[in-house]
Amino acid sequence: MNVVQAFVSIFLLIMVSGAFFVWRKKYPFLLIGWLWFLGMLVPMIGLVQVGAQSHADRYTYLPQIGLFLLMVWGGATWAAEWRLPRELPAGVALVTVAAFAVVSYNETTYWQNSETLWHHALADTVRNHIAESKLGDALLMQDRFQEAKEHYQNALEIFPQYASVANNLGYVLWKEGKRSEAIVLYQKALQFSPEMASAHTNLGVALRDAGNATEAVKHYREALRTNPGNVEARYNLADALVDLGQRDEALVQLREAFRLAPNNEDVRTRLRALGAP
């Protein structure tokens, strides 16, 4: 929001609040509904942080009760004051509900899956790095790497400090065999989010793949420091330790991974390969 938009918004807020306050005795429902709306917006405007409130429609549901309250009571009061035929407000209400039903049904068609939802978000917004990222994630889950890469690149172009996107794009490049480019992106992700366990794990995989098991071990250990329950990092750490000839510690890590995920077939196979009982 730019300065002009902020000024206009504040001006309208003051004008509407002042008008409803002046009319509070004659039309008390206006002030009640307006105060409900403003009061329920408090957790949504950033004063109290509760998540990505600026992007989620669900955060408007409770505040809108106040707006519906003042509109419905206002409509009923003014219809009575103007002595309108009962059929007219009833017809308006019916048409309004029908219109909302049609719009709601149309909106649900975008919620078929993550891909359709984020495609719609991109169609309705400009330079939306979150939608680009989420669409990339949805495509990555389907192994559509080229399409995912394009959206991750778009997200990073809009917001270069997006650590999770740098990490995911690095993974896509690693799958394409572009090892050095993947390493650069993993390092970039860790530059902006040093505690990101998945980036440490991915970087460890890329470094070991490049023949640098010693550095890979450092990143696996860092991933486990931030997330001790990371079975993937523990399993990969064991493999890197085997490369370095540290079989005993590798067995310790594999046994811990087995304790955390006893049904993980990769862990069981690796334990058997090392001769563990």
CATH code, 227: 1.25.40.10
Give the domain range for residue 239.
161-273
- Give domain status of residue 136, yes or no: no
- Give domain status of residue 67, yes or no: yes
Domain shared by 16 and 92, yes or no: yes
- Alpha helices in the chain, H assignment, sequence order: 3-22, 28-41, 61-81, 87-108, 114-124, 129-140, 145-158, 163-175, 179-192, 197-209, 213-226, 231-243, 247-260, 265-273
Domain shared by 38 and 98, yes or no: yes
Q: Which amino acid is at 195?
A: E
- Residue 57 dihedral angles phi and psi, to the nearest 5°: -60, -35
Q: How many domains does the chain have?
A: 2
CB 191 within 8 A of CB 164: no
Alpha carbon distance 87, 83 (integer Å) = 11
Domain shared by 8 and 90, yes or no: yes
Alpha carbon distance 103, 95 (integer Å) = 12
Task: Tell which of 49, 77, 111 closes a domain.
Answer: 111
Domain shared by 176 and 267, yes or no: yes
Domain shared by 165 and 105, yes or no: no
pLDDT in tens, the chain (277 residues): 578 988 999 999 999 999 999 999 999 999 999 999 999 888 776 666 555 555 567 778 889 999 999 999 998 898 888 888 988 888 998 999 999 999 999 989 998 999 999 999 999 999 999 999 999 999 999 999 999 999 999 999 999 999 999 999 999 999 999 999 999 999 999 999 999 999 999 999 999 999 999 999 999 999 999 999 999 999 999 999 999 999 999 999 999 999 999 999 988 998 888 876 6
- Give domain status of residue 143, yes or no: no
Please tell me what DSSP assigns to residue 27.
Answer: -
Alpha carbon distance 201, 234 (integer Å) = 9
